Structure 1
Amino acid sequence: MKVEAPSLAALPGIRHAFFTRQGGVSTGLYNSLNGGMGSRDDRENVVENRARMARALGVEPPNLVACSQVHSAICVPLETPWRREDAPQADAVATAVPGLGATITVADCGPVLFADPVARVVGAAHAGWKGAFGGVVEATVAQMERLGARRADIHAAIGPLIRQPSYEVGEDFIARFLAESQTFVRFFAPADRPHHALFDLPGFITHRLTEARVGHIEDLGLDTYTDPARFFSFRRATHRAEADYGRMVAAITLS
């Protein structure tokens, strides 16, 4: 049902999960733990799936709180739960309130969970290439600082996401990164097709975390694209011409 980062699991008073696609009630394309409220799955199934995730995390289902993700570089503070229809447009959540689950959904983009066990502040970021490029990692760290965290005390874990051998990109994508910095060439490897490359998203996220002076960084090394038994993947669903795809949830809470 979930995988955990050993570095986060070792922290007292903090619970987290990178939920897989296993252990839910959804069927068909969404089999079985689909957490995507924006998918075309039966809403009742998604509500039950998310309730199961909340129980596994040790929080009440309404306290598993996510923003309305828009591939931005915005992190919002979480003080009280909001309803889905009132969710702010952002791509990261940070909280210092025990019992609230900072939550994001993914299906190839990078889920990054953060925890400062000293100040007792946690956060979750949806870091696709656009968010990572735009600064969602830095925004999350800054929001955690406003809640009392210290960068050197923050532990960050990168969960299941699409990895370099599965992530082919075109010339425009490459040009955007190299226009920012020629040093970013190290995040691209040759692809079989001309004028294409393979992008290292977790490597780029790690770079952003390092530049943000986060004290402890862990990458679980899991590829959503190549493991259909455990993970949903937007790109895999696209390549298979499937009508839709499920979403996985990553969440962290102060117990």
Structure 2
Amino acid sequence: MKVSKAGAVVAVVTLALTATSCGESESDRTISIGIKFDQPGLGLRADGGTFSGFDVDVATYIAKELGYKPEQIEFKQVYSSDRELMLEYNEVQFVAASYSISEKRKEKVDFAGPYFLAHQDLMVRAGEKDIKEAADLNKKRLCSVSGSTSAQNVKDKVAKKADLLELGGYSECVVALQDGVLDAMTTDDTILAGYAAEQQNRGKFKLAGLRMSDEHYGIGVKKGNTDLQKKINAALRKMVQDGSWAAYVKKNFGAAEFHNEPAPKITEGS
């Protein structure tokens, strides 16, 4: 049967439109990523809806390597208590939220990485001279955030006479520290450095430089998703090799004069 040139063009256009309507276009693809919304330097959502922080930069880099543009990323807020559930029920594809790798957590999720080695540390006022180590906290006022074990660990193990002041969040601890209501606060050095690096806090605080624990931050993925785990590990290796990792550290923590560890060796799922 002879087909006219015009008829052939119509057939091609019809097939193209059909394929587009049945399939997912490139612009329709999105990826959901779990981050913290309230941690300066790591994961912070500004009032205008923009995001910043080391974990945000790392997550954006990973998404790019997975084939997603920044506008195709949907950041979702995760809390420490619900990270595993968000992955289990496919609310997010992966979690980048100061997520320390532990054997207990690995029973429920898989990790890529680690991509950062943090330590529990102390933050004090810039002019503080009496607190140089955890034992100096005896008879001092130490901030404890509800649900956190960091300050309690210090009191139980090395400063049993420390006076714990329990507040609702780290931002409240920072204000109380600035106002002289307490003498120190403790959590991961990345979180402390993030607060110290904020514009309004620069020059007001300093980190003691202690290493009271090792916290290996990993990227959480749904249990059994080894394909995604391997792809994320490849992205993390590339991020270190091309200098992006070091640039992200300087960008987010540099103002706090934070002395970070080198990029750790990837051990999970490698």
TM-score, length of structure 2 as denominator length: 0.28
Instruction: Return the structure number with greater helix share.
Output: 2
Computing the radius of gyration over CA atoms, which structure comes out larger, 1 or 2? 2
Using the size of structure 1 for normalisation, the TM-score is 0.29
